[in-house]
Amino acid sequence: MKTTCEVCSGAIEVPNDAIKGEIVSCPDCGTEYEVIEVKEGGVSLKPAEEVGEDWGE
């Protein structure tokens, strides 16, 4: 399945066996997306949340 990157408009190839919660990235700009829904013939993505380092504070 293919979709388009919101940042650079590059093509993102999402595996056909992708599952909800899986992370995929744009090969052009490196932006990471989380798969939020997989339905026949399409996939919905949202920008993946970045987890900052926890310095114990």
Name all domains of the chain by residue range, CATH numbers in brackets.
2-47 (2.20.28)
d(CA 31, CA 43) in angstroms, rounded, equals 17
Residue 41 pLDDT? 76
State pLDDT tens for residues 1-56: 899 999 999 999 999 899 999 999 999 999 999 999 988 878 999 999 876 666 66
Q: Is 45 exposed, middle or buried (0-12, 13-18, 19+ CB in 10 A)?
A: buried
Pairing state of beta strands 23-25 and 11-13?
unpaired
Residue 33 pLDDT? 96
Residue 37 pLDDT? 93
Q: Which residues on adjacent β-strands are paired with residue 24?
A: 33
